[in-house]
Structures are given as C-alpha cells and as structure tokens.
C-alpha cells in the first residue's frame, strides 16, 4: 500500500474541506491511503479553522496581507516537510504564483460551468444569468484566475422562482459530490 499526502488550502467557511476530509482522510482506495497532512488558511478569521480544530487537522494561517512573492515562498516553506502529492484548493481566494504551481500538482473547485462566471461571485452571477443550467467545475490550477485543464464538471437544472439560498445549497451539494471523486481520479488514475 502507498500513502498519498494532501495539503488543503482555504479562505472561508471550509465546508468543502470538511466534506473532503470526512470522505477521504485515512481511507484506502485501490491500495492507496489518503492522508490530509496540513490545512492552510489565508484568513485568520476563517470558519474553516474551527472545522480543522474539530476534525483534528493541523491548520496554519498564512495571511493574505503578505505580498505575492513572500506569500508563495512562505507557502512553499509550510508545505515542504509534508511530502505533499496533491494540493487541493477549497475556497482559497488567492492566485498562486508560478513557483508554487510548478512545484506541486494543484487542483481547484469553482461553483460554475467554467469558463463561465470566473471569480468570487460565481454563484450569484450564475443564479442571475438567463441560463437554464448551472454547475460546478474541478480543474488543475494555472496562474490565471479559475483557469487550467478541466478534470470534471457537473450541472444542475435551474428551478423557476428558486431563491438564491436554495440554489446555493444545491450548488454546494453538487460540489460535495464531485470534489471527492475528482481528488480520487487525480490521485489514483494519473501518475503523480
């Protein structure tokens, strides 16, 4: 059996972090054991930090106030001791620099059918658009916002007169289904 080590980066609520951890951590798939080694929050007030504490997942805070170059170097320093196979972004609201991108395999989830509705307001923009479907995307991370080769996407049908909260909940539920599968796909089917 081999172990695959994950680092997970977030900035806010941390619901995808918790979902991934509960579904994958210390579990064995095809003779591969998944281990979440470290979480990193870009905000010191992120609720995801409380989730990490409750889960027993070590969490470091690397504040967004750092300039980009310092941020990336400090991030590499934090990751170095853990032999990380995959960096998972779960609501991490920063763009990573080339040094980090070239050092690790990194994936991200975004709550839209990319390339539509990139950025921090994807759910609202998708809700307000006249499209009949919405969805979520998982992709490899490049140096541009919410861009990079797609790993998986899934869609849901919009419901007439649905309020934003209900729509948002359905988007998040889709994320909770698709992201663990995408992490496994990347770790088990692709050579790292």
> What residues are annotated to the active site?
110
The residue with its CB nearest to ligand GAR is 91
Contact flags string 157-176 toward ligand GAR, x per CB under 6 A: ------------------x-
Asked whether 107 and 183 are in contact (CB, 8 A), the reply is yes
134 lies in the site for ligand GAR, by CB under 6 A: no
Between 12 and 180, CB nearer to ligand GAR = 12
For residue 162, what are the β-bridge partners? none
Q: For ligand GAR, which stretch binds (CB under 6 A), given 8-16, 24-32, 64-72, 152-160?
A: 8-16
Of 110, 148, 167, 182, the residue at the interface with ligand GAR (CB under 6 A) is 110
- Site residues (vs ligand GAR, CB under 6 A): 10, 12-16, 48, 90-91, 109-111, 120, 122, 146, 175
């Amino acid at each position: 059996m081999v172990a695959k080590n994950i680092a997970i980066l977030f900035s806010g609520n941390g619901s995808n972090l918790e979902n991934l951890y509960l579904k994958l951590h210390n579990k064995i798939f095809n003779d591969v054991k998944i281990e979440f080694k470290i979480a990193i929050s870009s905000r010191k007030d992120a609720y995801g930090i409380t989730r990490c504490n409750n889960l027993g997942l070590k969490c470091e805070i690397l504040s967004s106030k750092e300039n980009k170059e310092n941020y990336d170097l400090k991030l590499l320093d934090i990751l170095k001791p853990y032999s990380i196979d995959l960096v998972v972004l779960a609501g991490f609201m920063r763009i990573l620099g080339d040094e980090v991108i070239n050092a690790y395999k990194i994936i991200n989830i975004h709550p839209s059918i990319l390339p539509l509705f990139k950025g921090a307001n994807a759910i609202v923009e998708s809700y307000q658009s006249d499209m009949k479907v919405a969805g979520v995307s998982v992709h490899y991370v490049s140096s541009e916002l919410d861009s990079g080769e797609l790993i998986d996407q899934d869609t849901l049908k919009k419901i007439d007169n649905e309020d934003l909260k209900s729509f948002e909940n359905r988007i998040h539920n889709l994320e909770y289904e698709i992201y663990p599968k995408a992490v496994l796909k990347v770790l088990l089917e692709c050579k790292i």
